[in-house]
Amino acid sequence: MISLVSRRFVALALAPLCFAVALPASAQDAPKKQSVDAGMNAGVNSTPLPLKLAPRPTTGAITLQDLMTRLYIFADDSLAGRDVGTEGHYKATTYIAGELKRLGLKPMGDSGTFFQTLPLKSRQVDRLSSFVAGGTNLALGQAWGFSGPSLTVDDAEVFFAGPLTEEGMPPVTPAQAKGRVVAYSITNNPALQRAVVGRIDAPAGSLGVLFLLPAQARGVLNYVLQGGLAPVDPNAPADSRLFVTDSATMRIFGNGMNLLVPGALGAKVNIKAVVDMQAPAFPARNVVAMIPGSDPKLATQYVAIGAHSDHVGTARRAIDHDSVLVFNRIVRPAGAEDSDKFGSAEQFATINAELAELRKTKPSRSDSIFNGADDDGSGSMAVLEIAEYLATQKTKPKRSTLFVWHAGEEKGLWGSAHFTEHPTVPRESIVAQLNMDMVGRGSATDQTGMSAEGKELRGGPDYLQLVGSRRLSTELGDLVEQVNRTKQHNFTFDYAMDANGHPMNIYCRSDHYEYAKWNIPVTFFTTGGHSAYHQLTDEPQYIDYPHMQRVSRLVADIAMAVGNAAGRPTVDGAKMDPRGSCKQ
């Protein structure tokens, strides 16, 4: 799931968990009891799962062994954290497509393949770029930075338009902007800073737009200069956006930004901002497949099931795995969501004592790979297991079932945004979308989130979070509840994270949103957060496979119920604007 905080901050995870393998009977005719290897999981909290697991052939049923086989492959170190546009992610999508071909699903990507390639470019800033103000050469990365395409400005005045506010940009006339660089000041407001990095156009007639940053916002320069992949958006502004620090503002205007008056003219500037855009070495791609419906009239409608195949890659340096594990269990139970917590002296005493005990029986292990077993290896492999289950049914659902593994969710829902903008089936023919993101945890020791009132949420044996299930379609939300009850899945649904105005804004943070904004009814299934969220310790050995199996079976039954229903889920909620912003 996409994070609101830095995805690269290293430090978290839950202590190794163990899981019972005795399971209740399900609606999908599994045996009443099922075991993995003898001795691997003799009982709860007895023997931990292994770091590595040899794969076995999968079957048509949704089983523990299948899920373990798939997830140990998909979240292996060899895939290096599946960062989009890397070889690791390329291998991950190749694995999914190979399984779909083996299972006989119909390719629904580009040109008869299983892949839909995202139009991404790698952005590399030329470090010889220059900015000269009043005869002084400003240091790139210290005094200035830029975002957007290359820009050259020769001997142009800088015109100060005024402060940028949440209400918008102060007006600038064409006469004021003509032949000049137009400058705006920004307060230390993260929302405004994100906005100006994004989609703000330069005034008509100007040579470019310049944002004056307060001293506290120097980090913006590092962000805009870091390069990396980005979507090629034909609707994005064609203008380069320039950013300068308080010291550069003094060079340009001879005064601090808080003392500037709208209409002030600054020194003449000479700018050469150069950026090189290239295609990534490995394509970023969605994987798309379909099982045709059994009813000729309803087969032109689709029930979409999705997850995201990418994660966040590798850390800059290796650190001790168990230190991260223990630290985050004690100090940061919400993983990356708790990145502002650093621990007390008492907590560190507990951490050191636990590590000392671990070292008596367990050697240190250096780790630098964000394996993403739960986020979202669990969802991706659950969807693949559901695909195999439905593909092996003698009677398929009446509606067609569409499977999409989205790329680049961690970067900002890139893959789901691209698919819904350029769907490979008519968008209006998608009757519902079921999204699975982080469905492999949810125990009582996991902090799964916070209520809107700030109350800590915890998992449990029957725990499952639902988000968005009634926001567009009451009928879909009711059907989810009905299937859970009548098929005896017996989950206890937690809707706390779906509350209107919830500060974590989960409804807007995973791939279902890109469908919902086109008024396609959605349900987001997740077992919630935990201390390994976006951390090096999100590994297959810590997944609760019995819980993951139950979630997978539930979603499979819901997909079949929607696929066989007489009508599509009625949209009775507030319609959304696909070009608007998302606020839960």
What are the structural domains of the chain? 64-118+283-313+370-564 (3.40.630.10), 123-278 (3.50.30), 317-368 (no CATH)
Cβ-based neighbour number of residue 561 at 10 Å: 17
| φ and ψ at residue 397, rounded to 5 degrees | -55, 150
pLDDT at 196: 58
pLDDT at 237 over 80: no
How many other CB atoms are found less than 10 A from the CB of residue 190? 10
- DSSP 8-state symbol, 293: -
Token pair 């907590």 is at which residue?
Answer: 347
Q: Is 564 within 8 Å of 397 (Cβ atoms)? A: yes
> What is the distance in angstroms between the CA of the first residue and the CA of the last residue of the chain?
16
Q: Give me the pLDDT at residue 236, please.
A: 52
Average pLDDT over residues 306-335: 96
Residue 147 Cα distances to 1, 141, 225, angstroms: 26, 12, 7
Average pLDDT of the chain is 89
- The residue written with tokens 């949440």 in the block is 166
Q: 3-state SS of the chain: helix, strand, coil percent to 5? A: 30, 20, 50
pLDDT-derived band at 573 (thresholds 50, 70, 90) equals very high
Q: 529 and 443 in contact (C-beta within 8 Å)?
A: no
50-80, pLDDT tens digit by residue? 999 999 999 999 999 999 999 999 999 999 9
Q: What is the pLDDT of residue 39?
A: 27
Confidence label for 497 from pLDDT (cuts 50, 70 and 90): very high
Tell me which residue of 15, 7, 14, 16 sits closest to 530, measured CA to CA.
14
What's the whole-number mean pLDDT along residues 466-479?
Answer: 98
Is 131 in a helix, a strand, or coil? Answer: strand
Whether the pLDDT of residue 545 is over 60: the answer is yes
Q: What percent of the chain is predicted at pLDDT more than 70?
A: 89
30: pLDDT strictly greater than 60? no
Does 538 or 220 have the greater pLDDT score?
A: 538
Looking at the chain, the whole-number percentage of residues with pLDDT higher than 90 is 77
